[in-house]
């Protein structure tokens, strides 16, 4: 049974969904409503923040006290490219960075519909190449993200592979939205348990990102279930088993495994979409983040942290 602390996210998600569904809400107001999701996470102790221009991309460093400075988590936030920001993800990434004992760079990639595909993919690659220019070795970088960020953090690596560029050491994707065709049955089977993400909402975000671009929903550049995943570094995938996007995570893991990728898939019982928003609040979420930290350290060539 889910902890009582985990119900905080259901309350916050329900409030956001109710406010966002009111007729006549403009985009600026919608973004303000979604930005309140940052309140779900607690402030991680011993983590400082610094804004930076990462190769022309606004970004935010999350810097845990005593961290290993030559390893970096490159993070893509959630929000379907339409809402949320580096600020909404600041605290949850601070917790993940602290668990891994490394720095994290949270990107504020351009949002749609003002900037449609491929603007976001271009921003993520620009920030990655900026890290390399700062002297960070590719094998010391992990590409991470949740929701659409789980798509973007993987698309980055696919694009680098196709260009023959050096790849990061690992990919961590939480609640990834990877199927623009939205064929998963969990859109229906989990419709009553997911209090925030609905088919209608995802359709709107898809239109904001891809509408008018001429990019079909099955294009492998945006639909990772159609992409060739061979040659990717190890991938760790998490999802909440109450979320409508659970099927995306499961099918993505199956596709990666079939392509010969070292992939592991983890279901968080009774959890919502992007349950990591509860970082620092719920015991099962904290446990998952500690597990993520251990895995990231192992892929970044670092020894396990001593138990606190």
How big, in percent rounded to 5, are the helix, strand and coil portions of the chain?
A: 40, 15, 40
**Is 273 annotated in the active site?**
yes
pLDDT for 2 equals 87
Q: How far apart are CA 117 and CA 111, in angstroms?
A: 9
pLDDT one digit per residue (tens) for the chain, 308 residues: 889 999 999 999 999 999 999 999 999 999 999 999 999 999 999 999 999 999 999 999 999 999 999 999 999 999 999 999 999 999 999 999 999 999 999 999 999 999 999 999 999 999 999 999 999 999 999 999 999 999 999 999 999 999 999 999 999 999 999 999 999 999 999 999 999 999 999 999 999 999 999 999 999 999 999 999 999 999 999 999 999 999 999 999 999 999 999 999 999 999 999 999 999 999 999 999 999 999 999 999 999 887 65
Q: Which of 85, 175, 273, 290 is catalytic?
A: 273
Please report the domains of the chain, with CATH numbers, ordered by start residue: 4-299 (3.40.50.1820)
Known catalytic residue: 77?
A: no
Task: Output the DSSP codes for 107-145.
Answer: E----TTTS-TTHHHHHHHHHHHHHHHTT--GGGEEEEE
- Catalytic residue check, 147: yes
Q: Check residue 305 and give its pLDDT.
A: 82
Q: What is the crossing angle of helices 119-133 and 148-163, to 10°?
A: 60
Secondary structure element (H or E) that encloses residue 283, with its range: helix 283-299
Find the catalytic residue in 77, 88, 175, 243: 243
Burial class, 127, CB count within 10 angstroms (exposed 0-12 / middle 13-18 / buried 19+): buried
The length of the chain, given as a count of residues = 308
In 64-218, which ranges are continuous DSSP H helix? 90-100, 119-133, 148-163, 186-189, 199-210
Q: Which among 85, 112, 143, 147 is annotated as catalytic?
A: 147
- The reported pLDDT for the residue numbered 253 is 98
pTM of the full structure: 0.97
The torsion angle over the Cα atoms of residues 111, 113, 119 and 120, rounded to 10 degrees, is: 40
pLDDT at 307: 67
């Amino acid at each position: 049974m889910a902890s009582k602390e985990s119900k905080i996210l259901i309350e916050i998600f329900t409030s956001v969904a109710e406010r966002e569904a009111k007729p006549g809400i403009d985009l600026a107001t919608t973004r303000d409503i979604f930005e309140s999701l940052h309140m779900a996470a607690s402030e991680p102790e011993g983590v400082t923040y610094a804004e930076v221009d990462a190769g022309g991309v606004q970004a935010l460093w999350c810097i845990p006290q005593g961290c290993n400075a030559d390893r970096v988590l490159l993070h893509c936030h959630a929000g379907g490219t339409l809402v949320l920001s580096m600020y909404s993800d600041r605290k949850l990434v601070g917790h993940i960075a602290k668990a891994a004992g490394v720095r994290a760079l949270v990107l504020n990639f351009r949002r749609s519909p003002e900037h449609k595909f491929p603007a976001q993919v271009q921003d993520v690659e620009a920030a990655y190449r900026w890290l390399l220019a700062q002297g960070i070795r590719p094998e010391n970088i992990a590409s991470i993200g949740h929701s659409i960020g789980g798509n973007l953090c993987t698309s980055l690596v696919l694009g680098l592979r196709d260009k023959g560029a050096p790849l990061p050491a690992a990919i961590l994707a939480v609640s990834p939205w990877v199927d623009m065709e939205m064929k998963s049955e969990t859109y229906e089977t989990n419709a009553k348990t997911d209090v925030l993400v609905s088919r209608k909402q995802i359709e709107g975000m898809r239109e904001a990102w891809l509408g008018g671009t001429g990019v079909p929903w099955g294009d492998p550049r945006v639909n990772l279930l159609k992409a060739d995943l061979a040659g990717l570094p190890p991938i760790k995938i998490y999802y909440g088993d109450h979320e409508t996007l659970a099927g995306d995570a499961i099918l993505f893991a199956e596709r990666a495994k079939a392509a010969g990728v070292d992939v592991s898939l983890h279901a968080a019982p009774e959890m919502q979409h992007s349950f990591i928003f509860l970082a620092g609040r719920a015991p099962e979420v904290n446990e998952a983040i500690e597990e993520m930290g251990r895995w990231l350290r192992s892929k970044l060539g670092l020894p396990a942290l001593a138990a606190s």
